[in-house]
Structure formats: structure tokens, C-alpha cells
Amino acid sequence: MSLSVEATKELSGSCSTTASITRWRRHDTHWVISLFGTAVGAGILFLPINLGLGGIWPLVIVAVLAGPMTFLAHRGLARFVLSSSRPHADFTEVAEEHFGKMAGRLISALYFLSIFPILLIYGVGLTNTVESFMVNQLGMATPDRVMLSGVLVFAMIAVMLAGEKAMLRAFAFMVYPLAAILAALSCYLIPQWQWPEVTAFEGGSFLNTVWLALPVTVFAFSHAAAISGFANVQRREYGEQAEAKSGLILRNTTVMLVGFVLFFVFSCVLSLSPAQLAEAKAQNVSVLSYLANITDNPVIVTLGPLIAFIAISSSFLGHFLGARESLKSLIAKPTGLPLAKADKVGIALMFFSIWGAAVINPGILGLMETLSGPVIAMILFIMPVVAIYKVEALARFRHGWTNGFILLTGSLAVSALIFSLLK
């Protein structure tokens, strides 16, 4: 029996839709690289110390949880952004649509305030890294900090203003070398691996270590700042298939993140004893700085500043993307300014704020990062799950174990952050 014309069209349309989702494009690769770059900041150099101090078993548990936590949470946030009835709605507009004007603006303000301190930290870190490299590695005189920081911050923001294609090219230019260096360094340390001290589980102590390690894991792999912009671009590119394609891109991003970062973490941890990790923690230096100090290895001494510079720069771009988008809406709504003009005002405010922080080099940035932590964890893990059970457009995602997993791990991460802050 032959198919009707309508059935044939429907079948061919379904096949082309499936093909468009599964067919991998350069556009998709660029976004994997961009999200990877957003997640991998300078904190990766401290991650082996923070995760390795608790011993090998907590590290193994965290490594197992890292993939599902990262993928499911970011997919949930992307689904939340894509659930709007308006085709070009950003995070602020989606939050207002689903939770009401007042609650939506409050969520959006908290979202911006969770990202912005990280930009200030990166502005300071970028300036300090380049200044240190110029003085210590190149033997130059100490540069004028006002001029140096202004040029660096302006260069980073100029990349974002050049457009989406320029931004994606910049990510590719930075992240490919970063991934290659991380992999090469991880392999370079293999001959120094030591068999870890395998001890039995110690009940409450073991669970406490895993609990306190969850926030570190969340933020080591977080690319939440770029998710709103990412989801909107996928909606423009793929239309009704944006949700499925976003999930595929986020899955591959998670695989890349977990593979490269955890290989680096395990390689560093297995190269150092627990006493050495504790000493590095006490000295408040990165794992590469500590390895360079105890081995006097010129390769590690050279790679440390390079990794820090690339990681800070790429993560700065991703966080600026999220901060720019949310601040634009926060300025436009109460003032009545057109979005284009509000965008320019927001960019100017952020430039001078980041530049000012880089010049002043304040000592409170670590506290600011800690304060922003619980907010971004709640927005990334808890809010999308609440929206699934509140918003009809997300009703099809209400079944399955993943919602409970995200809510549980997110709640544990938030409680551990608050506990660490109060302690």
C-alpha cells in the first residue's frame, strides 16, 4: 500500500528534522568550545588542591557525580530559557514571564549580582597575571597598572562588541591551546604518579568531605553565565529543534569538561602526597606554582602563567556575555530606555567598574565570590526544577529521576556553601 501525499511529507519532514538535530556543524563545535572556555577559569589551578585534600575516595565520588550534575543542571537552565512564549526572550524576560514582574526582576538582579563579582575578580586576576609575567618572565620594569589594566579590560570587551562570530573565533583561539596544554601537562606528570593512600570509608567524615566538595565541583564546571545567550542562539539557528540540539551540545561540552579537567585534577593529586597538598593549601598557591617550587621545573614555571592567562581570558568572555545580557534588561525595564541604548550604558558601567577593581586590586574579592556562590547554585540547580513543576510549557519534563537528583545535589551544594561562609 502506498503512502498518502500528506503522510509522505510528514515522514520526510520528520527525517529531515532528525537529521538536522543529529548532524554536527561547525556552529555546534564553536559553542562547545565557548561553553568549555566559560567554565574553565583560573580556579582550575587550585581545583586539585581543593578536591584532593579529602583523600582519594571523596575525589572518586565527586568525579562520578561531576558529569551528571554538570549536564543535567545546565540542560535544565537552557530548557527554562527556551520555555518562553516569546522567541527572543532573555533570562530576565523569561523569569518575569514565569514568576511575575517583581519576582522575575528579583531573580534577574540576583543572577546579575552572582556573575558580576566574578568579572571583577577576573579583571584583577588578568592584570596581576600579565604584570607578573612581564616582570618575572620577561624581565621588564613594572608597567603602569592603570594603563595595563585599562588596555586588557578594553581588549576583552572589544572582542564581545565585535559580534558573535568574533567571540566564537576568540574562544577557539584560546581554548584549543588551553585544552592541549592541560592534556600535555597531565600526561607530563604521569611518571611522578604515586599510589594513593587507600583508606577505609570513615562514615561521617567521608560524607562531610564529599558534601563540602560539592560547591567546588559545581563552580569548577559551571558555564551558567553563558547559557541564556547560548539558548537564544540555538533557538535562532534550530527553531523548534533548539531544545534537543542544545541538549546535544551541552552533553558534548560536559564530556569535554569532565575529561580534560578531571584528568588534570587526578594527575596533579597523584603526583603529590596529602602532606604536600596541605602545604600548598596553607601557602595559598596554585598547584602549578607549588609543583614548580618543589621540582624547580622550567616547563611548569612557564606553563603556569600561560594557563592562567588563557583560562581567565576565556572565562571572562563567557561571564561578560551573561552579565551584559542581564544588565541590559535590568536597565531598560525601569528606565524605559531602548534596549540598544541600555546595552551601551550597561557596557560602559561594567567597563569602568572592572577597570576600577583591577586598578585598586582589593582584598575582598574572595569574599565577593563566596557570596555570589549560593545564588548561582540556586539559579542553576533549584530554580529550573521549581519552574518545571510551575510552568505548563515545561510540564513534559516533570517525570523521571533527574529532577530529584538535580534538586538534591543543588540543595547540598547551597547548604555547603552557606555552612562554609558562616564557619
pLDDT at residue number 69: 94
- Going by the DSSP 8-state scheme, the letter that residue 381 receives in this structure is I
Residue 138 in domain = yes
Residue 417 covered by a domain: yes
Q: What is the pLDDT along the chain (423 residues), one digit of tens a residue?
A: 444 444 444 334 444 455 566 688 888 998 999 999 889 877 787 888 888 887 788 888 989 999 999 999 999 999 999 998 887 788 888 988 898 888 888 888 888 888 898 899 889 888 988 888 888 777 888 899 999 999 999 999 998 888 777 888 888 888 888 888 889 889 988 988 887 766 544 555 778 888 888 888 888 898 998 898 899 999 988 888 999 999 999 999 999 999 999 999 999 899 888 888 888 888 767 788 788 777 777 777 777 778 888 888 888 988 998 899 889 888 988 888 898 899 999 999 999 999 999 998 887 656 666 767 788 888 999 999 999 999 888 999 988 789 999 999 999 988 988 887 776
Burial label for 406, CB within 10 Å (0-12, 13-18, 19+), is buried
Is 4 a domain residue? Answer: no
Domain that holds residue 340: 27-422
Cβ–Cβ under 8 Å, residues 398 and 65: no
Phi, psi of 301 (to 5 degrees): -60, -40
Report whether 325 contacts 111 (CB < 8 A). no
Contact 218, 377 (CB under 8 A): yes
Residue 123 · residue 359 · CB < 8 Å: no
Length of the chain: 423
- Residue 22 forms part of a structural domain: no
Instruction: Name which of 153, 138, 169 is nearest 305 in CA terms.
Output: 138
Residue 21 inside a domain? The answer is no
**According to the model, what pLDDT value does residue 66 have?**
92
CATH of the domain at 362: 1.20.1740.10
Query: Is 3 contained in some domain?
Result: no
Give the three cell numbers for residue 307: 594557563
Count the domains in the chain.
1
Q: 301-314: b or e for each residue (b if 16 or more CB lie within 10 Å)? A: bebbbbbbbbbbbb
Assigned domain for 11 exists: no
Collapsing DSSP to helix, strand or coil, 361 comes out as coil
For residue 399, tell me if it sits in a domain.
Answer: yes
